[in-house]
Amino acid sequence: MTFRRVVPAHLPDYELLDTGVFEKLERFGKYVLRRPEPQAVWDKAMPESEWQKRAHASFFRKGEKDAEAGSWQVKPGMPDRWMVSYKSDGLNLRMRLALTAFKHVGIFPEQAENWDYIAGCLSKIKTPSPRVLNLFAYTGGASLAACAAGADVTHVDSVKQVVSWSKENMEASGLKDIRWVVEDAFKFVQREVKRGKTYHGIILDPPAYGRGPDGEKWILEKQINDLIGMCARLLEKENAFFLINLYSMGFSPVITENMVKSHFPAQPFGSGELLLTDKAGRGLPTGTFLRFYR
């Protein structure tokens, strides 16, 4: 198992400034945001006055019953939308950010390391336009990375507005021809298995809970094992990669390893915990990952 300390070296538009008392203070481009963070149970390094001074926008939950929904308090001059850039060897991505009603802003900075991993895997595959499937793809950072690395990308998300956001990111990054699918990821994979489709790369980034466009329920602990099993049937036997991220606090890297081992026996992999490091040197856990190339 590999525990990774992630500092997005190719994402100068991002900094984790401080964490603590169930909050985090982050810089995205020119703007500093204050957001809830349930795992930051320690004390803050900066005084409250400094947080108030620095934050251009602060997110406050509606109540304890709903851990996600809430509203933003913004200072004058804070835009609703703005852009950030990500540049590394072979990748030159532009992504739009926005203040949403669920505290998210359109990018998960810790995933930058996975974007480089995806591009690196695709550089090894000699097949022209290798096929990559991105499930629960959100605003498409991984889709952009795969497309920029020469892949034929299928991007699946159940929220139409989020897919439209992903299209904006594709166009802003000077990319084209990503296949957009607004559908329940589980149903889509079921059909792909029946069709006999295969992919050279599969990326999974599922939430703990979710709804499909027709009201389908997604419950991580009930469905993720079956989904990984179907992905094992879709993944090419060689010259292929698999990547899964999990953000549920109830899922340790060991749980993910056990599931993957049952469907990809004898397959070496790397797994562990993704972290972001604040200015005080403290690692903030942001989820678990498992990935391999074969």
246-257 pLDDT, tens digit per residue, is 987 678 889 999
| Whole-number Å distance between alpha carbons of 221 and 231 | 16
Supply 71's token pair: 């509203």
Token digits of residue 184 = 């329940």
- Position 78 pLDDT exceeds 70: yes
Residue 47 has a CB neighbour count (10 Å cut-off) of 10
Radius of gyration over every alpha carbon of the chain, rounded to an integer in angstroms: 19
Rounded to an integer, what distance in angstroms lies between the CA atom of residue 64 and that of residue 38? 12
d(CA 263, CA 157): 24
Question: pLDDT over 70 for what percent of the chain?
Answer: 95
For residue 90, which of 167, 175, 5 has the smallest C-alpha distance? 175
**Per residue in 172-208, pLDDT tens?**
999 999 999 999 999 999 999 999 999 999 999 998 8
Lookup result for tokens 């942001």: 286
**Treating both helix axes as pointing N-terminal to C-terminal, what angle do 220-234 and 185-195 enclose, rounded to 10 degrees?**
30
pLDDT over 60 at 1, yes or no = no
Domain boundaries of the chain, sorted by first residue: 108-293
Q: Does domain 108-293 have CATH number 3.40.50.150?
A: yes
